[in-house]
Amino acid sequence: MKTQIMSKNYNVSEKLEKLITSKIDKLDRYFEDSATAKVVCSKVANDLFKLELTIKDKGLLFRSEVMTDNMYQNIDLALPKVERQIVKYSSKLKDKLRKNSSIKDLVFNDELDDTLDLNEVEISKIKNFNIGPLSVSEAVMELENSDHSFYVYLNPDNGRVNIIYKRRQGGYGLLDPTID
């Protein structure tokens, strides 16, 4: 797995970089060589550090984000979260395929798409609503007036459906989907 370490408002020491790389390398058993791990280390406040770990491979995405007062502790907290996600995903696929194989075998098996039945997903509620054209600031106002953490609207500037949401760190995020 290829590991990319980035930083924002934080200086990643060589010792920390080696530690992160060696710990992430332990996840290689789950993935092929084409997998990439992206680690972003950032300083959020005077004594608060955030580590974001994202692993991508063949359409799969596993992600963890942790914040503590110690970056070394962050890597120790983020890796088990991602590994639990991988194991949980692998278990679901194994149950689905009724095989004893590793996630490597399952993820890169061309028959996987044929065996997963998305009709078995249970939708517990469907909500229909009308969306109208709103500016971003109007959408934020509507979000604030609602009891939800997100608001779906039509952006007249680009003609696409956008989603404005409240971020845990404060502020807002904007989802603006595009088609490749």
DSSP 84-142: HHHHHHHHHHHHHHT----HHHHHT-TTHHHH--GGGPPP---------B--HHHHHHH
CA distance 142 to 148: 10
Q: What is the CATH number of the domain that holds 109?
A: 3.30.160.100
Check whether residue 103 and residue 159 sit in a common domain. no
State residue 99's pLDDT score: 44
Q: Domain containing 149: what range?
A: 136-175
Q: CA 130, CA 105: separation in Å to the nearest integer?
A: 44
- Kindly state whether residues 27 and 94 are assigned to the same domain: yes
- Answer yes or no: pTM beyond 0.75: no
Cα distance between residue 12 and residue 45, in whole Å: 16
Residue 50, in any domain of the structure: yes
Instruction: State residue 121's pLDDT score.
Output: 67
- Specify whether 101 is located in the same domain as 31: yes
**pLDDT tens digits for range 144-173:** 887 788 999 999 998 899 999 998 888 999
Tens of pLDDT along the chain (180 residues) come to: 899 999 998 999 999 999 999 999 999 888 888 899 999 999 988 889 999 999 998 878 889 999 999 999 999 999 999 998 888 888 777 776 654 445 555 455 544 444 445 556 677 788 888 888 999 998 998 888 877 889 999 999 988 999 999 988 889 999 999 876
CB 108 within 8 Å of CB 101: no
Please report the pLDDT score of residue 98 as a whole number: 54
Residue with tokens 């680009």: 158
Q: Is 17 a domain residue?
A: yes
Q: Are residues 39 and 80 in the same domain?
A: yes
Is 165 found in the same domain as 98?
Answer: no
- Domain co-membership, 20 together with 77: yes
d(CA 156, CA 150): 18
> What is the Cα 71 distance to its own chain's centre?
20
Considering its fold, how many domains does the chain have in total?
A: 2
Amino acid at 85: Q
In a shared domain, residues 140 and 101: no
Dihedral-angle region of residue 18 (phi above 0 means left; psi in -120 to 50 means alpha; beta otherwise): alpha
Domain membership of residue 127 (yes or no) is no
Please indicate, yes or no, whether residues 68 and 101 belong to a single structural domain of this protein. yes
Does any domain span residue 125?
Answer: no
CATH number where 141 lies: 3.30.505.50
Q: 147 and 116, same structural domain?
A: no
Examine residue 96 and state whether it is found in any structural domain, yes or no.
Answer: yes
Residues 116 and 157 occupy one common structural domain? no
Say what the pLDDT of residue 96 is. 66
- pLDDT for res 111: 46
